[in-house]
Structures are given as C-alpha cells and as structure tokens.
Structure 1
Amino acid sequence: MSTLFAFLHHLCAFTLVSALAIEFALIRQELTVASARRLQVTDLVLGIAAGALLVVGLLRVFFFEKGAAYYWHSHAFLTKFGLFVIVGLLSIIPTREFLSWSGAIRAGEAPVIEAARRRRVTMVIHIELAAVVIILLCAAIMARGGWV
C-alpha cells in the first residue's frame, strides 16, 4: 500500500508541476478565447492535483511512512509543507483572474487583462515555480534523512 501511495504522491506532484508550466507558457502568449479557456482548464487541473497531493501526502505522513512524529520534527518536511501552503495561497491570485474571464469566454470574446494584472499573475506563477524547485530540494534532503 505504501508503494501505491508513493506513486499517487508522485503522480499528483508531476501533474501539478506540468500544470504550472503550462500556465506559465499560456499566460505569456496573446490571450484568445481558446488560450483563456485552456488557462481555466489547466488551473482546474492544478487545483485538483494540489488537493489530491495534499490528501495523499498527509495520508503518507500519518499512515504509510515513518510516522507523523518523524515528519513534524523534520525541518526539510516543515519547509516543504510550508512552501506548499504558500504556493496554494499564492495560486488564488491567478485562479481569481482566470475565473473572472468566464463571462467574456462564454460570450466568445477574448478576455481583456490589464498589463499590470498580467505581470502580477505572471510573477505569481514564477514564484510558484521557484517554490516548487525548493520543495524538490527539500524532498531530496528528506530522502537522505537530512535536516532532522
């Protein structure tokens, strides 16, 4: 069972990273009805992957791996978990922007986004991607038993 949950954890993590990369690429292009719709769908996939990653990860912590006491005393885990929460909170910014486009998309029009708002959404996605890199570093440190 532990192997299955490790697999699910990795699947969710890779899906999340892929969705972030797709958002990063799409937000930099000219906004069309099709690309705006793709951004909305990609953001939905990102949210589902993040939720599943959290649930599966916590199940691993409490039931399938070394036990909660080990993880809650690991600085690498706490850093990784804290960054995950920060990324989740930051992701509210692009999600709200993408959801605000629903009316225009339903009307068959490309949403209009001010340059400053686009820069803010792009910057948030950059920060999310950078945080994911640090999360991966923490995972490697955890795998080696570091920062305990």
Structure 2
Amino acid sequence: MSTLFAFLHHLCAFTLVSAVAIEFTLIRQEITAAIARRLQVTDLVLGIAAGALFIIGLLRVFFFEKGWDYYFHSHAFLTKFALFIIIGLLSIVPTREFLSWNAALKAGQVPVIDAKRKRLVTAIIHGELAAIVIIVLCAAIMARGGWV
C-alpha cells in the first residue's frame, strides 16, 4: 500500500508542477477566449492535483511511511509543508481571477484583465514555481535524513 500511495503522491506532484508551468506559459500570452478557457481548465486541474496531493501526503505521513513524529521533527518537511500551504493560499488570487471570467466567456466575449492585475497574477505564478523548486530541494534533503 505504501508504494501505491508514493506513486499517487508523485503523480499528483508532477501534475501540479505541469499545471503551474502551463499557467506560467499561458498567462504571458495575450488573453483570448481560448487562452482564458485553457487557463480555467488548467487551474481546475491544478486545484484537483493540489487537493489530492495534500490528502495523499497526509495519509502517507500518518499511515504509510515513518509516522507523524518523524516528519514533524524534520525541518525540511516543515519547510516543505509550509511552502505548500503558502502556495495554496497564494493560488487563490489567480483562481478567483480566472473564475471571474465566466460571465464574459459565456457571453462569447474575451475577458478583460487590467495590466496591474495581470502582473499580480503572473508574479504569483512565478512565485509558485520558485517555491516548488524549494519544495523539491526540501524533499531531497528529507530523503537523505537531513535537517532533522
């Protein structure tokens, strides 16, 4: 069972990283109706992957791996977990923006996003990517038993 949950954890993590990378690419383009729809779908996939990653990760911590005592005494794990929560909270901003486009898209119009708002959403997505790099570093440190 531990192997299955490790596989699912990695599958969700790679899906999440792919979705953030796709958002990074799409948000930098001129927003058209097609791009807006792709961003919405990608953000939905990102949210599902993040939710599943969170649940599966907690199941691994408490039931399938070394136990909560090991993980909650690991600075690498705590850093990784904190960054994941921060990313999740920050991702609310792009998600709300993308969802606000529903009315325009249903009316067959191109959603409007002002330059300042687009810079904010883009900066958050950049921050998510940077935080993911640090999370991967923390995972490597954890795998070697460091930062305990």
- Does the alignment reach a TM-score above 0.5? yes
Deviations 1:82-115 (A, max 9, x none): 0000000000000000000000000111101100
Deviation at 1:47, TM superposition (A): 0.3
Q: Distance in 2 between matches of 1:24 and 1:104?
A: 22
Partner in structure 2 of residue 139 of structure 1:
139
Deviation at 1:30, TM superposition (A): 0.9
Question: Aligned partner of 1:57: which letter?
Answer: G
Q: Distance in 1 between matches of 2:87 and 2:47?
A: 11
Aligned length: 148
Q: Distance in 1 between matches of 2:110 and 2:28?
A: 15
Deviation at 1:12, TM superposition (A): 0.2
1:6 lines up with 2:26 in the alignment: no
Partner in structure 1 of residue 40 of structure 2:
40
Partner in structure 1 of residue 110 of structure 2:
110
Partner in structure 1 of residue 71 of structure 2:
71
Q: Distance in 1 between matches of 2:106 and 2:22?
A: 22
Q: Distance in 2 between matches of 1:112 and 1:48?
A: 26
1:84 lines up with 2:84 in the alignment: yes
Q: Distance in 2 between matches of 1:108 and 1:21?
A: 27
After superposing on structure 2, the runs of 4+ consecutive aligned residues of structure 1 that deviate more than 6 Å are none
Deviation at 1:142, TM superposition (A): 0.2
Deviations 1:2-60 (A, max 9, x none): 00000000000000000000000000111111110000000000000000000000000
Partner in structure 1 of residue 129 of structure 2:
129
Taking only aligned residues, the RMSD between alpha carbons, in angstroms, comes to 0.4
Partner in structure 1 of residue 52 of structure 2:
52
- TM-score normalized by structure 1? 0.99
Segments of structure 2 that go 5 or more residues without pairing to the other structure are none
Q: Distance in 2 between matches of 1:108 and 1:44?
A: 21
Q: Distance in 1 between matches of 2:141 and 2:113?
A: 40
Segments of structure 1 that go 5 or more residues without pairing to the other structure are none
- TM-score normalized by structure 2? 0.99
1:25 lines up with 2:18 in the alignment: no
Q: Distance in 1 between matches of 2:35 and 2:109?
A: 11
Q: Distance in 2 between matches of 1:144 and 1:3?
A: 19
SS of residue matched to 2:38: helix
